[in-house]
Chain A
Amino acid sequence: MARKPRREPGTLEREVLAAIAAAGRPLTPAETLAELGEPLAYTTVMTTLARLHDKGALTRAPAGRSYVYAPAAAPDTLDAALTARQMTRLLSAGTHRAETLARFVADLQPEDEQLLADLLTTHRSDDGDGTGTGDGDGNSAGAGRADGGPRR
């Protein structure tokens, strides 16, 4: 089985940010680890959260013996959302507009929808535990990352 390549630190930072945003509420490091759904070391998550806080991407508030982390409420979040939406509309107008935005999934053709629905059904069944939210086993940093063992 192919070994998972080493990730650069920025990748984990983005995943942590996304995990906290997906939860929709402030998370403790342990909850973040669970939300990441990956056998990462607890200390790795702690470090990443601290780094994101230092960079101003997360705010934190003391909670018990630890902190809870929340996305830094950018003063112009609403403005940003609006801008992003305008951008989307602007660039999807016209037939041969430059593909300035690289979308994960572009607009679907009618036949695409059925294909995707089918794929989701087939791949759910042959995939053992597909959508677990993580067991947060927090195995130690060295052993946890380097092995090529089965993973989700």
Chain B
Amino acid sequence: MTAVALVPFVMSVLLAVSGGWLGRRLPPATATRLLTVASLVTALATGFILAVVAFTLLAPMPMLAAVGHWSATVVRGHDPLPAATGLLPAAAVAGLLAAALRRTITVGLDLAAAERTCRRLGSAPTGLVIVDDDRPDAYTVPGLTGRIVVSTAMLRALPPDERRVLLAHEHSHLHHRHHAYTQLADLAAAANPLLRSAAAAVRLAVERWADEDAAATSNNRGVAVRALARAGLARSGTVTMPSAALGAVHTDLAHRARALQQPPPTPRPVLAGVLAALILATAGAAVDTSHATERRFERAQATFAHRR
């Protein structure tokens, strides 16, 4: 094993530490795409390298060496670790793989439920389903076509310009298939728990993305802020008196509201470039490790054949 094999782990830690910051700093669409790709590549690379490490450590075991026709000494190389230590990464890989599999099944079941709901909600030629309900709510159901569901209570709670913001926000989710990003990032986080903060950042970034699309329907970003505030309060059903300590609120919703009060986000080509380069480095490290390991086993097999 070389130091290159550590790159995906370094990347995991980097994303764990700075995932949330990156998600807020990059423009929402860029953040969504780059962080999703970064999560997937990092999850695959860490899983792959852990598997390679496990296999390489276990390979000198006489039974495996005999089956694989390779020289135990050459495979062991300069690694001083006993073969049994390979069981640790092997167990880790098995556990993470099982978690990823479980997550995939859950997501699949959820999507199937969503698709069934879409069917039951009717054909909805415009994609909008208005539900006669006295509880204010608005959400997007993913599916082959997907639906925007808004209750009549929510429509009545909002003035026309804010209704427009709400519809544009939900349409943005469907149009850009935001659920695919959040689910892929969640899947990556299941396969590598260090990527959880990146998955949370993707979830926030898609909301910000939809917020920006919605804010673009009006010349006044204040309308989008009001829509967010009014819809949120309508949903929670509370009438709270205004108070102090605004800046102290650090929830995702507070971030969305604050971002809408500022001018539209600017592109961050340098930051995006750095993240893209790190993604490539992570993928490259996995490929390099794969080649190095392949060569090692070829040498071990050659030695084994020669000795015979």
CA distance A99 to B249 in the complex (A): 23
- The proximity string for A residues 88-106 relative to B, scoring 1 for CB distances below 8 Å and 0 otherwise, is 1011000001111111111
With contacts A102-B140, A102-B179, A151-B220 known, what are 4 further pairs, Cβ within 8 A?
A: A11-B171, A38-B160, A52-B125, A133-B160
B149 in the interface (beta carbon within 8 A): yes
A residues less than 8 Å from B120 (CB atoms) = 76, 79-80, 83
Q: Which candidate, A13-21, A60-68, A137-145, is the interface stretch facing chain B? A: A13-21
B97 in the interface (beta carbon within 8 A): no
B47 in the interface (beta carbon within 8 A): no
Q: Among B107, B113, B114, B233, point to the contact of A113 (Cβ < 8 A).
A: B233
Q: Please report the number of residue pairs spanning A and B whose Cβ atoms sit closer than 8 angstroms.
A: 242
CA distance A87 to B252 in the complex (A): 23
Q: Are A91 and B110 in contact (CB under 8 A)?
A: yes
Which of A's residues lie within 8 Å of B, judged by CB?
1-2, 4-5, 7, 10-11, 13-15, 17-19, 21-22, 24, 35-38, 52, 55-57, 71, 74, 76-81, 83-85, 87-88, 90-91, 97-109, 111-121, 123-124, 126-127, 130-134, 148, 150-152
Known contacts A10-B127, A14-B171, A101-B139, A115 near B246 by CB under 8 Å: yes
Nearest-CB residue, chain B, relative to A150: B219
Interface range on chain B (Cβ under 8 Å from partner): 35 or more
Q: Are B114 and A100 in contact (CB under 8 A)?
A: yes
Q: Among B141, B169, B229, B232, point to the contact of A87 (Cβ < 8 A).
A: B141
CA distance A126 to B219 in the complex (A): 14
B278 to chain A, nearest CB (A): 26
B173 in the interface (beta carbon within 8 A): yes
Nearest-CB residue, chain B, relative to A21: B130
B161 to chain A, nearest CB (A): 5
Q: Are A105 and B113 in contact (CB under 8 A)?
A: no
Nearest-CB residue, chain A, relative to B248: A111
A23 to chain B, nearest CB (A): 9
B230 in the interface (beta carbon within 8 A): yes
Nearest-CB residue, chain A, relative to B150: A18
Q: Are B253 and A106 in contact (CB under 8 A)?
A: yes
